[in-house]
Chain A
Amino acid sequence: MNAVDPPLALLAELTHRCPLRCPYCSNPVELSRASAELDTPTWKRVLAEAAALGVLQVHFSGGEPLVRRDLADLVRHAAEAGLYSNLITSGIRLEADRLAELVEAGLEHVQLSIQDSDMANGDRIAGLAGAQEAKRRVARLVREAGLPLTVNAVVHRQNLGRLAQIIDLAVALGADRLEVAHVQYYGWALRNRAALLPSRKQLDAATATVEDARARFAGVMVIDYVVPDYYAHRPKACMGGWGRRFLNVSPTGKVLPCHAAETLPGFDFPSAAEASLSAIWYHSPSFERFRGTAWMPEPCRSCDRREIDWGGCRCQAFALTGDAARTDPACALSPDHDLLAGAVADAQAREPGFVYRQHSAAQRHTSELTSSPA
């Protein structure tokens, strides 16, 4: 068995609180309360331990990381430890002075989400009036602050028809990089699958649009494209393999191989409040569980791609088959591959509305966000 390499990046999910209610949210159905979030000293220790362990980049994410008042403090601590800091944000309520504070603290890059080029539809998807206008304003602030800007556009059946306009919008906003990401069906997103899954025709058109834009904007804007699992022939190498490259720390301090893993049954994920990241990365049973290839069932075990795609995604295997140790159904060799075609057929047959997370406006804007959507 190969020795375990140190992780490359840390996804620091500072909070589950968020002003938006995107139906494609891949955070768990049950969100963590503000009162259960890690405190500032613990996050600082996590960042220092991550750097000592070999982590090179930190992605401050959530939820909306801006709702944490200690964000600049954490960015500064990360920068001092030598970590490269990325902020993954909705941009809502980000003002020039707060951004200046973050830049001064050592923030290197901002990734800003948009929901559509069409403002009304974008706000409908985000579940917040005025959201798209705010994002345009924030993109300008980021450029004026001299930071590189990534625009993240999660795409699905209800905005894919405007992909070309979405790409043009990203260029107009001054993005150095655009992520066009088809929805990944985890957490809340799985509830909205039938409202989000594109048709094969839409997918093919989108892929052609991306190829064309990549050529036209070469050297101006890099486009990263995340394809949807439901039309895949081979699974994605989720997280580059379980426990191989990434660490995720959840708002309450659970240390996970990916941000969706907390939904898997039969795991007792260790807490960063109780153990060091190093002990967890190298020795915890939960990181060992699906690391490498020894855990694999057939057809993965004898597949010549087993160290390319690492069996695909454990969370998707669980979400679709009820067994996290099965081959990812996104693989055409999986005995469960027809589940995907079934989901696509079901989605094409219906036009359901979005199911939004139910949290009141008061809860969204104050510290106590309850975890009981519907």
Chain B
Amino acid sequence: MILNLPFIAVAVLLLIGFYGLLFKDNLIKITMSVVIIEGAVNLFLVSLGYVEGAVPPVYTMAPFEEPMAFAVPQALVITAIVIGIAVTTLMLALSVRIYQTYGTLDTKEVRRLRG
């Protein structure tokens, strides 16, 4: 069971991320919880393609007679990380505009529509 350590880490990170997303009120804490959940999902995708005792899938001066890790999950995670950056930027920009309009960052106060 100790060998499944990356999958256990994914489960713990998902717990922390979902707790912050559901039970916290500040907008910045909600943004940080979304970032933690994205990190957990990327870690899960990368650790799916690992072979025992593997080297990176690059042929330049690679060691002899060792298996190579799978290449497709690593390419998909590069795309997912960049998309995560874009989503985080948009969330922070919207938080700045909410603070300029309402004067507070508490989600319980910004529920009423203001004329």
Answer yes or no: do A and B interact: no
Please list the residues of chain B having a beta carbon within 8 angstroms of any beta carbon in chain A.
none
Binding site for B on A (CB under 8 A): none
